[in-house]
Chains A and B, each alone.
Chain A
Amino acid sequence: MNVKKQLMDGLIHQNPVTVQLLGMCSVLAITTTLFNGIGMGMSVLVILTCANIVIALLRKIIPSKIRIACYIVVIAGFVTVVDLILKAFLPALSESLGLFIPLIVVNCIILGRAESFASKNGIAASALDGIFQGLGYTIVLIIMCVIREFLGNGTFGGGILNGGEGVRILPEGIPALGMILPVGGFLTLAVVIAVMQHFLSRPKKSEQKEEVAK
């Protein structure tokens, strides 16, 4: 088991969003405040890890013909658990993420990892894979949130800092509202992936890549 390789894969070389290009819907839709980004990232991390563990446990029992349906049931179960927990303990987050919490069921990242990793590897490796892939997803979400919130709203840490208002960096009137509208989502993700491609295509040491990921 190669922990370091798995970590680097999850964060950079096989990053679920910027390299595997999975789970675009939530990345584009909810990255308007830092609070949303962290909340969504953590939810996906938890669901991905739990689902990976259970699927790795059951990988020898599940018949291969109906495996996709089985995976979906496992994933949907965990999504429902997380959905109910958020509704009970973090109603504000549940409200602002709305439809996108139940839609984690059809998030390709989770089904993709179940199919390509958890169904072939042991429990410990699958759990680590869930955590690292979840972290890679969360980091991209946070980068997107920080950029979009700063350019679109002129604040940092909306939903968490300063009583939910966020710390204001740009004065009101200057920020381009378009950045928190759908347009901004597409453009920001395009730039993030382009930067990633630029650095990955250059055969350099991994230190530089780390900077990009952060």
Chain B
Amino acid sequence: MSSFTTLITVALGAILVNNFIVAQFLGICPFMGVSKKVETASGMGMAVIFVMGVASAVCWPINKFILEPNNLIFMQTVVFILVIASLVQFIEMFLQKSMPSLYEALGVYLPLITTNCAVLGVVLQNTQNSYDFITSVVYGVTGGIGFLLVIVLFASVRERDEFSECPKAFEGFPIALVEAGLLALAFLGFSGLDIFRFMK
């Protein structure tokens, strides 16, 4: 069973030390695509937290009780991506019906999440690290929180692009990449964080 300490370690690791975007390079496409405004970025972040948590919770039993006993581990990629795609569709319909306000807040970002590699990444990592159910869900949700944190920080930097001058060749996308690089450099500072020492 997962103790409280391991859960905290996993959570802090997913948010700061092994952040999905700046340390593991997962989910770069939405990170670059929808980070022009803080509002859209936070909408996307919220949607990612939600989907990553639910996907971790759904894929864990599928892997444990269907794929593993039947020796079908090699089908993981196919099964998981199908589960995620249908899950996103299902969540979309469910929210539309029962929580219209949340549905409107997430808007177009929900369907886009299917091709966010952070979601498939978190599910595959859960099985690779053989996390138990609770740890998987915690890892999924906190990974999403880390995503939200970075994308909001990045969007607030990027909003200033329009008012600053930069070399012509760097205009638009390249300067955003440079900013992302600096953000990654800042987050590199967390990699020295020794969480276990605080716990003792």
Contacts and interface: CB of A to CB of B under 8 A. Distances in A.
Interface string B162-200: 000001111111110110111011001000000000000
Nearest to A26: B25
Nearest to B111: A68
Interface in A61-105: 68-69, 72-73, 76-77, 79-80, 83-84, 99, 102-103, 105
Q: How large is the interface on A (under 10, 10 to 19, 20 to 34, 35 or more residues)?
A: 35 or more
Interface in A23-79: 23-26, 28-29, 68-69, 72-73, 76-77, 79
A94 to B, nearest CB: 13
Contact of A197 (B27, B74, B76, B174): B174
B67 interface: no
B16 to A, nearest CB: 14
B24 interface: yes
Interface of B: 22-29, 32, 74-78, 81-82, 85-86, 114-117, 120-121, 124-125, 128, 167-175, 177-178, 180-182, 184-185, 188
Interface stretch (A133-141, A148-156, A175-183): A175-183
A213 interface: no
B85 A187 contact: no
A189 interface: yes
Nearest to B28: A24
B117 A25 contact: yes
A128 interface: no
Contacts of B124: 99, 102-103
A191 interface: yes
Closest 10 A-B residue pairs measured CB to CB? A186-B181, A29-B25, A190-B177, A198-B169, A24-B28, A194-B174, A76-B78, A182-B184, A194-B169, A190-B174
Nearest to A181: B188
B182 to A, nearest CB: 8
Given A106-B115, A178-B185, A190-B178, 13 more contacts: A22-B29, A99-B124, A99-B128, A103-B120, A105-B77, A106-B120, A182-B184, A183-B182, A184-B181, A190-B174, A190-B177, A190-B181, A201-B168
